[in-house]
Copies of this chain bind each other. A is one copy, B any other.
Amino acid sequence: MTSRGTTMAEALNTALRHALRDDPAVHVMGEDVGTLGGVFRITDGLAAEFGDARCADTPLAESGILGTAVGMAMYGLRPVVEMQFDAFAYPAFEQLVSHVAKMRNRTRGRLPLPLTIRVPYGGGIGGVEHHSDSSEGYYLHTPGLHVVTPATVGDAYGLLRRAIASDDPVVFLEPKRRYWTKEDWSPDGPAAPVPPIGRAVLRRPGTDAVLITYGPSLPVCLEAADAAREEGLDVGVLDLRSLVPFDDETVCAAVRATGRAVVVHEASGFGGAGAEIAARVGERCFHHLEAPVRRVTGLDVPYPAPLLERHHLPGVDRVLDAVRDLQWPSATRARHGGEPYAVGA
């Protein structure tokens, strides 16, 4: 992170700009996305450049926004919908589950919906209630949706381009507290192109254990891995990038190589993405596991007020504690022992 460089917000903006430029079917729509450029400025300048039909302010009605986008996609356009905040996508839940996810299936493939639904999600920004939900657990349990979430600036650009180009509906979860993180990335740079949706990436190799994470928790995990190194543990970090499709291959390879895994995410643990990940790893890597898969997640409470959110979110210490608890042979065994159990699970 340098003070020069590109923010995730800028990369997303660029991705939208390029998508609008390259394909006349692409239409951006949502609350305040036009004149204002979105409350996070992700659509800044797009209405001015492409006109307010291609980047349209809509009435304040999320079900109507998504439902209208469904109709536009039925006509052959590629709508990119912005939901202003995670919790404000809930009014559109019926449209999402009963239509967006099912339209291709209901019509035997005759009405695919090339729709992208951008949702700024997660906490850590000191937002008032309903502004910090991690809602990926609802979406990933809904067959027919792809669920994608970038953790880096380059992925933000690459995955959003992939999402918009996809013929499947994609719920594109943007870790809002990473919007202003700068990285040394430019759209014209020589960065490796982002692979198709559905591939995880090992952000850091490690021989002793692997942290499995995505979106806003990636930096936490990288920091925890650094700290673990100081304790003599070589911990890898895997960034899932997409929850659906799920990259069993990469995940299982990482787990089998180390025999120890911790899953980290902000959402409440109970019934969250971490449950699926831990369950799959348990099913597929059972004989390779040296310790139970641990989950470090948000608590099973409604998202707390700003002054309390640090106690809710998985921080470096909690991740580190979980790593220490992975039933190491006594030489490396850390101070916290006992029956394994997970925070937030």
A contact set with B: CB distance below 8 Å? 63, 87, 90-91, 93-94, 97-98, 101-102, 105-106, 129-130, 137-138, 140-141, 143-144, 244, 246, 267-268, 270-276, 278-280, 282-284, 286, 289, 291-295, 299-302, 339-342, 345
Contact = CB atoms under 8 A, between A and B. Distances in A.
Contacts of A129: 102, 106
Nearest to A289: B286
Nearest to A147: B271
* Complex copy number for this chain: 2
A299 B294 CA distance: 26
Contacts of A294: 283
A340 B286 contact: yes
Contacts of A300: 143
A283 B278 contact: yes
B271 A282 contact: no
Contact of A102 (B93, B105, B286, B302): B302
27 contacts: A63-B91, A87-B94, A87-B97, A87-B98, A90-B97, A91-B93, A93-B93, A98-B130, A105-B302, A106-B302, A140-B270, A141-B270, A141-B271, A143-B299, A143-B300, A244-B270, A270-B276, A271-B271, A271-B276, A275-B278, A275-B279, A279-B295, A282-B293, A283-B292, A283-B340, A284-B341, A286-B340
Nearest to A105: B302
A300 B243 CA distance: 14
A273 B141 CA distance: 10
Residue with the highest number of chain B CB atoms closer than 10 Å, among A90, A141, A300: A141
